[in-house]
């Protein structure tokens, strides 16, 4: 395998490439990876409550960016918002199908040459690292 870089390099490189690849694929719709994630959550759950959803993405986008994403989807009439609950409009549900097709194609290409077990083990491995690091006591300076 040659020279192995630190795990952080691989994590950051993968995340950077995932973001840029999906942003590029969604560019023709004027969307980013974060628009996609919000739309996917609505599709999976029928609706999202913004006050519950934002904390899940808060480490990646600012409240202003989150509100801009909501506003851009409202402006296109792809979602409706009532009492902080987002749902698809008929137009949004239709366009989601097309966007999802692009996402699935890229995901297939991204995972080409891997097995479902590879993915499952990688998730378990990364989760173990996360849990181990969270369990460490905070060192005071």
pLDDT at 1: 66
Distances, alpha carbon 30 to alpha carbons 20, 52, 65, 128, in Å: 14, 25, 14, 36
Digit-coded pLDDT (tens) for 108-123: 999 999 999 999 999 9
Q: Which domains does the chain have, with CATH numbers?
A: 7-114 (1.10.10.10)
Torsion of CA 98, 61, 76, 29, to 10 degrees: -40
Digit-coded pLDDT (tens) for 70-129: 999 999 999 999 999 999 999 999 999 999 999 999 999 999 999 999 999 999 999 999
Axis crossing angle, helix 50-57 with helix 33-45, rounded to the nearest 10: 140
């Amino acid at each position: 395998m040659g020279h192995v870089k630190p795990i952080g390099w691989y994590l950051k490189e993968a995340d950077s490439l995932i973001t840029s690849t999906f942003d590029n694929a969604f560019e023709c719709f004027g969307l980013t990876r974060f628009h996609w994630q919000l739309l996917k959550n609505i599709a999976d759950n029928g609706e999202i409550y913004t006050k519950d959803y934002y904390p899940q993405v808060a480490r990646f986008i600012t409240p202003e960016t989150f509100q801009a994403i909501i506003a851009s989807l409202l402006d296109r009439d792809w979602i409706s918002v009532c009492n902080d609950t987002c749902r698809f409009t008929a137009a949004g549900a239709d366009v989601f199908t097309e966007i999802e097709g692009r996402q699935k194609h890229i995901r297939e290409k991204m995972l080409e040459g891997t097995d479902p077990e590879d993915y499952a083990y990688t998730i378990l491995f990364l989760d173990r690292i996360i849990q181990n690091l969270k369990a460490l006591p905070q060192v005071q300076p």
